[in-house]
Structure 1
């Protein structure tokens, strides 16, 4: 609906469909993308809305009677306000004119309450108003993507989110942690709030590490893995290594039920193909891996045993393929037990290492293919991914496109922001474009786990951060 700007003397808003709105105002009074506003189409009628875009009007200088620049802003109508100040789902009729004013703190609080957002992760700024920023716990039944360049506060912020999920949900968590950043997730920091600290410390949080004798060991069990996963560890290709692969498929389980060592001894005494497989295992150095469980409990068994959260410190193995093998064992186990429909959040930090856009080698390929399947089919079984990385282009596209939640921190690359805009169409473009100017710890949340797209500053951790950068020594 057109508006004659030449006679406009105050901010005006209109809607042709009751779902979106447009307003004109002066630059100094214009709400920014992400700001929540209240629209009043008629006396006694109030609508909550959010600005998603704004731009100067060509030739709009002085259109409001002064020397200022006229701005046109547009956004979405969130719903009519009820007695509590929160939006309802009642339909809204088109309107020709509405008074626009900034939303108050009670409006923002009522919006979050109405949409079931209760996980407090920091502070939400809308115009001059600041309230606690809260996520919807129910929104984590979709896959989530967290992205931010080095130094943006990504790892610290992920810890804030995981703490809130531990405090306010019964989700089982499996954290694939390549840098040891979450190994202290169960250790409360000094000065943390007492009640929250006690509740968090009461959770059964298991931390598994590679080092023998360093607490719970991080191990895998070869004999319980699916044959395809076992073949990936042996780097057997079904076509290139036809004879060996076929022999392996038909091996009796008694060959490897006591481990790879006895298996190699038995294969050495066999025919040519059996001896070739024994040589393969020895040449790959698999007998020297630290990751074999033996008489110990495997990571998959810890998860299946009912631990509330299992943090797997994947760093520290001598062979770089061992972390991939342990992760594959756990992911395969979760998929094999999917019919139990146990709600489980699979957190993959530095996800490009385990879910690469272009996987290299049989192990990474097998792991990526299983994560792709979980991304496509896991939601109906209660298996949900939370992927964290620095660049979206490094993540397999069939996983990235299945994510319905976005948490974006500082990102300078125009190419990466363009890709995020193409994949996450629900994230307002102008809010995405503000990412290069985020301070450390600031984030854009969009998707089903927030009541509306929000720009937030992350709050303080309750537990201690596991890893940190090495500082430059000064004289």
Structure 2
């Protein structure tokens, strides 16, 4: 088996089965694995229906088999719920997306609620987030604050809006167990979904820096373009640029690589490209192309769903593969009207 993500002769940890090499005639060759012994920044791209969510599902199945890894999935479309139906060697659970109020810093609270932190209402929410570690405590702080009535009412109304999202809970789930934790965000709007992603990304980084978990978190984010231009963006950027040191990995997928910041593509040590046809998206890959990948990247785009080109920075190579079949069902497929 050829292993991606690890320099030749430097494989010192578990390996996940990703797929097999694909010849130009479509036949399959040697099996291809993925190094899971160290942290990675992986980006999976492809047009709709090309297989990027499926590939993330394969990755999650392999991550679940490694006890030293804590996989967490931010699932904006409900496509990963089928992981909970996995056999015993792929433990997974689907949970409601909930986070602690103190998982967001004061500035994030103001950004989330669209408040100017230098204004009266924003400053009051900032103080509440600074002084309180629960959502109920923030409400009480605002109600009893020494501020004029209009400011208290405005702050209370903004917090009431956040309460209506139903994602702030003192009993947020443990993210660092041995199973895949799927945060099903399919029922959330953009703002609360970004709040969940921001809090989870910060938790993963903080837990490793502070030493509160021995497991290595892997944050898996589908539809990443919805987060890299929202509240979650700073936390995701930090995982890309600083996650390697504490041992935090990020695997993100998008059908719009052109909508991601340049750092999301340039910092990826593993780039898995399913079929892309958009000019802007192909240009985004071309502009971030490492020197060891020639101009033929666009001309070698895969044709079939499940086929992919992998740019592996560890081996400085370009690999044509076919992703293996999943053990669990694929929740990201589109329903079809029957011939009847």
Partner of 2:22: 125
Partner of 2:181: 310
Determine whether 1:135 maps to 2:60.
no
The size of the alignment, in residue pairs, is 328
Shift of 1:236: 2.3
Determine whether 1:244 maps to 2:99.
no
Q: Deviations over 1:168-197 (max 9, x none)?
A: 573211111101111221313xxxxxxxx4
Q: Deviations over 1:176-226 (max 9, x none)?
A: 1101111221313xxxxxxxx4422xx3x23113xxxxxxxx212214532
Aligned mates of 1:134, 1:169 — CA distance in 2: 21
1:193-342 equivalence runs, <5 A: 197-200=87-90, 203=91, 205-209=92-96, 218-239=97-118, 241=119, 243-251=120-128, 253=131, 258-267=136-145, 270-272=146-148, 275-282=150-157, 285-294=161-170, 297-299=171-173, 302-304=174-176, 306-317=177-188, 319-339=189-209, 340=211, 342=215
Q: Is the 8 A contact 2:190 2:226 kept in 1?
A: no
Aligned mates of 2:2, 2:81 — CA distance in 1: 36
Determine whether 1:148 maps to 2:148.
no
Distance change >3 Å, CA 307–CA 298, structure 1 → 2: farther
CA RMSD of aligned residues (A): 3.0
Shift of 1:371: 1.4
Q: Is the 8 A contact 2:143 2:152 kept in 1?
A: no
Aligned mates of 2:36, 2:269 — CA distance in 1: 13
Q: Is the 8 A contact 2:53 2:332 kept in 1?
A: no
Aligned mates of 1:410, 1:224 — CA distance in 2: 37
Query: Aligned to 1:163, which of 61, 70, 76?
Result: 61
Q: Is the 8 A contact 1:421 1:427 kept in 2?
A: no
Q: Which of the two has greater strand per residue?
A: 1
> Structure 2: which 5+ runs fail to align?
none
1:42-191 equivalence runs, <5 A: 116=11, 118-126=15-23, 130-138=28-36, 141-167=39-65, 170-188=68-86
Aligned mates of 1:405, 1:421 — CA distance in 2: 15
1:368-383 equivalence runs, <5 A: 368-383=233-248
Q: Is the 8 A contact 2:63 2:71 kept in 1?
A: no
Distance change >3 Å, CA 455–CA 222, structure 1 → 2: same
Aligned mates of 2:31, 2:178 — CA distance in 1: 29
Range with bigger deviation, 126-135 or 379-388: 126-135
Q: Deviations over 1:436-464 (max 9, x none)?
A: x5111111112146684221122211112
Aligned mates of 2:124, 2:239 — CA distance in 1: 30
Distance change >3 Å, CA 167–CA 256, structure 1 → 2: closer
Shift of 1:422: 2.1
Aligned mates of 1:330, 1:136 — CA distance in 2: 24
Aligned mates of 1:444, 1:224 — CA distance in 2: 37
Distance change >3 Å, CA 164–CA 452, structure 1 → 2: farther
Q: Deviations over 1:343-391 (max 9, x none)?
A: 22111100001112xxxxxxx2x42112112211111111121110002
Distance change >3 Å, CA 382–CA 254, structure 1 → 2: closer
Aligned mates of 1:254, 1:158 — CA distance in 2: 37
Q: Deviations over 1:402-445 (max 9, x none)?
A: 1111100011123322321221324443244221x511111111
Larger relative contact order, structure 1 or 2 (CA cutoff 8 Å, min sep 6)? 2
Q: Is the 8 A contact 2:68 2:178 kept in 1?
A: no
Aligned mates of 1:110, 1:134 — CA distance in 2: 5
Q: Deviations over 1:43-84 (max 9, x none)?
A: xxxxxxxxxxxxxxxxxxxxxxxxxxxxxxxxxxxxxxxxxx
Partner of 1:345: 218
Aligned mates of 2:45, 2:24 — CA distance in 1: 25
Q: Is the 8 A contact 2:240 2:250 kept in 1?
A: yes
Shift of 1:250: 4.0
